[in-house]
Amino acid sequence: MNEPLIRVVKKAELGSRETFILRLEAILLALVAGGLFILIIGQNPFVIYKTIITGALRSGMAIQATVKIAIPLLIASLGVTLAFKMKFWNIGAEGQIIAGGICASYFALFHSGWNHWVLVIVMFIAGAVGGGLWGLIPAWFKTKYDTNETLFTLMLNYIALNIIVFLREGPWRDPGSQGYAKIARFDKNAALDKVFGIQFGWIIALVLLVLVFVYMKYSKQGYEIGVVGESQETARYAGMNVRKVILRTMFLSGAVCGIGGMVQATGSDVTLTTAVAGGVGFTAIIVAWLAQLNPPAILIVTVLFSILEKGSSVVQSSFGLSSDSADVLQGIILFFILGCELFIRYKFVMRGKGGAGA
């Protein structure tokens, strides 16, 4: 059989210094490639890059907007990290965010007369339970029937989204809406309070960051997650209940994402819409992997993503660019940074030049 011209070979594990240099090179290449795209559309790359940074950080209001972007992204990234550490491919963070938002919104809409802090706590619990149960569904089917969790969690996203459509068009429709169906805006008593001008979801996000970090690194359950992720057979040999670990971890993964839905619905949107997740669940997957499933690193990557997102919108409005141009620029930068992860673990080998099959 003919040997292929180029093949991918796993390389020896790189040291931290080599890995850092490779990732730095990827960032530089991303900026160069993005700069070429900016030149092609007739703009100055240095001006555009400067505008991205200043647009996200130039004023207190801009910083607040950037933090608002970061809040649900950080929470969702922490949620999927729990599942990914176990090698359970949870692509359903969007649906879990939505489920949490729906459950919290029920109390915001129909029990807004409760004491404010009691209501906030109940909405928080409802969001966590709603997201957790939504995450538990694919985990149960995985442990019972060995279903494909990637497809299962992905499809649940669309079911959750259409539950909002059903509620918006039917039982939760705002009777005062004119011309189009929508869910009513929440009463002020059901909205999260602001700290430093931003809804205090950012405090919740930081607390979750610490809790997830401690849980994964120092708890017995966190250790079990890692063992199950490395080898279920080894986990069983060590006396671990693999089914219990999977169910528990996916409930927690969904619960953290559900808290993100509660925070977004009651803190930023102050209503429930089909945009409550807004693609955050998918972006969270990229953030979690770029951060190597490390909670402190997730915070750093989330901040950088949020600056890029907010800054791109400022570039779009300041220079009259289409939203597609901003999306292409973000895509180019992410392509190089994500592509770097391949070259950390693998290398391309030409025919007859060595490697595993030479």
DSSP assignments along 189-216, one per residue: GGSPPEETTEETHHHHHHHHHHHHHHHH
pLDDT for 141 beyond 50: yes
Instruction: Determine what percent of the chain is predicted with pLDDT higher than 90.
Output: 69
Of the two residues 345 and 317, the one the predictor is more confident about is 317
Of the two residues 320 and 148, the one the predictor is more confident about is 148
Q: Residue 115's pLDDT is what?
A: 96
In this prediction, residues 318-345 reach a mean pLDDT of: 81
Q: Residue 269's pLDDT is what?
A: 92
Cα separations in angstroms, 235 against 90, 223, 230, 239, 249: 20, 10, 9, 7, 15
pLDDT for 345 beyond 80: no
pLDDT bin (cut points 50, 70, 90) of residue 100 is: very high
pLDDT bin (cut points 50, 70, 90) of residue 6 is: confident
| Token pair for 326 | 């901003």
pLDDT for 67 beyond 70: yes
* In the block, residue with structure tokens 């690194």: 217
Q: Residue 357's pLDDT is what?
A: 42
Of the two residues 104 and 9, the one the predictor is more confident about is 104
Q: What are the start-end ranges of the E strands in the chain? A: 6-10, 194-195, 198-199, 346-350
Average pLDDT, the chain: 90
Cα separations in angstroms, 291 against 60, 278, 301: 27, 21, 7
Instruction: Determine what percent of the chain is predicted with pLDDT higher than 70.
Output: 97
pLDDT for 103 beyond 80: yes
**pLDDT tens digits, 223-268:** 999 999 999 999 999 999 999 999 999 999 999 999 999 999 999 9
| Token pair for 174 | 């705002």
pLDDT bin (cut points 50, 70, 90) of residue 318 is: confident
**pLDDT tens digits, 174-218:** 988 877 899 999 999 999 999 988 999 999 999 999 999 999 999
**Phi and psi based region of residue 181 (left: phi greater than 0; alpha: psi -120 to 50; beta: remaining):** beta
pLDDT bin (cut points 50, 70, 90) of residue 2 is: low
